[in-house]
A and B are shown apart, each in its own frame.
Chain A
């Protein structure tokens, strides 16, 4: 039943980049300067991933009055000091240069006056440093990057998934692929970059695109890479709540950056009770918990959210600065110029991910990671606007390091690899359960017990659910569904990593809240460091010199 690409089922290249969002595109552009580069994408290039749908902006220190030191402090404080300081420093230091790269390649970000980029305020930052293109900032970036990719010799393999990393002993040497027809293939590479993005689709309510299933985390984990802080799931404060199928759709932080206010059903601007100083522009973890608390305590809106209101802003300003929001809500019958939006938290971003060093190298030789699949940069909570910057800074670093990697001579039996994968696919063909039934149960269980508020008991419950689901074999009724079966398997792996991390971390910190634990330390003097998970064991790091 499973096809193996006859004859030419092996593609060889110097650098393989898996994923064509902001990080993958940037990595491929950089790597292609060093040798033949393949950009593998399960969607059309640039159309997958969350970059294209990112709205708010890109943080870069551009103004003289701002400083990278300040940006660093904001990032660390926002991340509850769980960030790897070296990575955070690289992020803030190199972000302006990467913004200039985008500009050189043709990006059209808004300008304040002639030749001065416009920058808006975003949560948790003491300076207006979020560059933007209206509320389609990520789209602007992807448009720019894909235009550049078309100008290069980068080989695009589209609508084809990586279902496993290709291993040569402990070394990563490419990937096994599966296309939309269910045909297996192999890409061999001297260096492989995972740029597969995030994975909050394992939650019932999520901002992520269809590709946000966390495959890269699972591929890396299965190959033996180390992952850190997987429990750190950012719930974006403002997702749509209505109609039911649109729940979770991102309502950009730019709405609050432009002056939007949050109100409960009593008309109270409730952020006064949670963060008097920063109000709506507090960090995302704080705002999400505040909204969730208002809803839980019965002050929610008609459809189970709270109100986000921009009606006090001039209509022309809304039309110019938030055109996508305006248009999207109009499609659902709400005119945000005259009516408040209804919003509630939605699973948005995984701060954790593959452990990387400053070269974006993972713990496995030959494997690099950049963008959301990499961990450590954002600590326990990411600042809005730092993710788009992250894709460019670490995309470039990964591309450069991978590009400079030496050529390797492969010692792997491709036929054997393909036979193993074919057997896996055959098992799916004989599977028992429709994939959507598994994901549906997973999503609800994760939302209920591994969401904004967590307890050990709840986490144990969802762990049991995931274990049970992992014992089911997703069924491919058709060979074109094999990809979906692989994805479901990966989602379960990601869910398990999140749950395990959450059990390991017996404290509340950043986005991770353990209601069953009382603690007498602040994030800055927490006794804990990263949670660490790999095939070879799990642990939570103890911090030297902490309380």
Chain B
């Protein structure tokens, strides 16, 4: 027997004006799950505690609750001392029990339901990966788009795709899913992160439904414009200022000893919209002994097209982007754009290793920056945190930059998945949510590592948004100013005119 103390968020709509937190101490067996501790509370403390459960083996999806802010199946998640148990972010019926019936009722099924034979291996394999859903609604409860707009939600989209893949169904459902908010999903992958069955809803349902919608001419005009531009220019943004690729030579040698060598995949946003941020990052690497090779013929990674279902010329983009690095014998390719990094890592099959700037700096180690005491918070770019699993590296660097680092909940800012361009009002609502979260931390600056987040949060936040490498750049600059030394690390060589 072990004794644990933990909290449960209680709420009885009949008597309580608002939810409140209660602390319980109970005796439990070794290895007890969260559900076992809830049973223990009912038996040992308060028989009125209300929660839903049934199978006890992770299969019925009844018992999902939040533990320390993350949705988990109570019957499978191990209980621990000090945990905070709360209901999902769905309308609460009582205590930990939330309203699920109306959502489940609206999930679609096969019609007409006539036996025409068994599935082919191909159809079976296609449907299988999105068929394991236990309808626990963890994804719906955490979806940022569901929170701000009329979006049917991740698992409804998963179910639509499962039907769309099924030769037994005779309906065309793509247009319907557009009405259900198909284009409001930011592909933030929070649904995948919280799914107890690890179903890849963004990649295997949302983006595939968008492909179908695209084939049926339902692509949003703004998304179409981006695709047209990539097709015509190789870039997802138009040229309004000198780009990175126009300014830098193919090889930038570091000052001092060469500690490493990477190819640099610039990405459209840093290349054409935020070139100064990219140049500062290159200077930081130059100071830290990394040789950077920048093939000038690289093009858009294709992320804005894949995320919006416009995949017909992705192969050509991949061919160029793979070829330009491999022909130079580059073994590691650096990205500083979270979206490009996630795309190269997950949507490409690259013969080279892809590494995010935060991973690179962690792997090689960097000259410790001058620390400040400015309160700072960090916004996790979705395509870095969930797309690439990079969370600790930027935090570790940030802790070198400030002794007042403040966490805030990792939520999508609204810029991804083509939502910023195609569904501006949804993106704006999510941006405003971020503004509030940032304000709550009391931070004087918000640091991030993604051009879309930088741009979008910048429009909505009251405090400045700074790229993590820019912060390093400024810190090194300050050190040089104080010491009066200058190795010339900031003076990037210019591209030679041909």
Contacts and interface: CB of A to CB of B under 8 A. Distances in A.
B47 A434 contact: yes
A316 interface: no
Interface in A417-469: 434, 436
A210 B54 contact: yes
Nearest to B31: A243
Contacts of B50: 180, 480
Contact of B134 (A139, A158, A328): A139
Contacts of A477: 47-48
B30 A478 contact: no
Interface string B44-66: 00011010111111111110000
Interface in A90-106: 100-101, 103-106
B258 interface: no
A127 interface: no
Contact of B107 (A104, A147, A209, A242): A147
Contacts of A250: 57
Contact of B29 (A115, A245, A332, A436): A245
A114 B121 contact: yes
Interface stretch (B124-132, B294-302, B448-456, B490-498): B124-132
B225 to A, nearest CB: 38
A136 B132 contact: yes
A249 B57 contact: yes
Interface residues of A, number: 59
B124 A43 contact: no
Interface string A478-509: 10110000000000000000000000000000
A53 B59 contact: yes
A52 B59 contact: yes
A47 B62 contact: yes
B170 to A, nearest CB: 12
Contacts of B100: 44
A209 B115 contact: no
Interface in B156-197: 163, 166, 168-169
B33 A245 contact: yes
Contacts of B122: 114
A249 B43 CA distance: 22
B483 interface: no
A110 B58 contact: no
B48 A478 contact: yes
Contacts of A52: 55, 59-60
B109 A332 contact: no
A43 B62 contact: yes
A140 interface: yes
Nearest to B32: A245
B119 A108 contact: yes
Interface string A240-278: 001111100110000000000000000000000000000
A116 B110 contact: no
A105 B62 contact: no
A209 B54 contact: yes
Given A105-B113, A250-B57, A478-B48, A114 B107 contact: no
User: DSSP class of B's interface residues: helix, strand, loop or mixed?
Assistant: loop
B142 interface: no
A113 B131 CA distance: 19
Contact of A210 (B53, B105, B115): B53
Contacts of A358: none
A43 B163 CA distance: 26
Contacts of A210: 53-56
A101 B115 contact: yes
A115 B55 contact: no
Contact of B60 (A53, A103, A328): A53
Given A43-B54, A111-B121, A115-B118, A139 B59 contact: yes
Interface in B99-115: 100-101, 104-111, 113-115
B373 interface: no
A48 B109 contact: no
B211 interface: no
A272 B127 CA distance: 41
A147 B132 contact: no
A3 to B, nearest CB: 12
Given A150-B109, A481-B47, A103 B115 contact: yes
A434 B47 CA distance: 9
A332 B75 CA distance: 12
Contacts of A244: 29-32
Contacts of A540: none
A231 B210 CA distance: 57
A104 B47 contact: no
B117 interface: yes
Interface string B72-105: 0000111000000000000000000000110011
21 contacts: A44-B52, A47-B60, A53-B55, A100-B115, A106-B110, A108-B127, A111-B121, A133-B131, A147-B110, A148-B110, A156-B105, A180-B50, A210-B56, A244-B29, A244-B30, A246-B31, A250-B57, A328-B76, A477-B48, A478-B48, A480-B48
Interface of A: 43-45, 47-48, 50, 52-53, 100-101, 103-106, 108-111, 113-117, 133, 136, 138-140, 143-144, 146-148, 150-151, 156, 158, 180, 209-211, 242-246, 249-250, 324, 327-328, 331-332, 434, 436, 477-478, 480-481
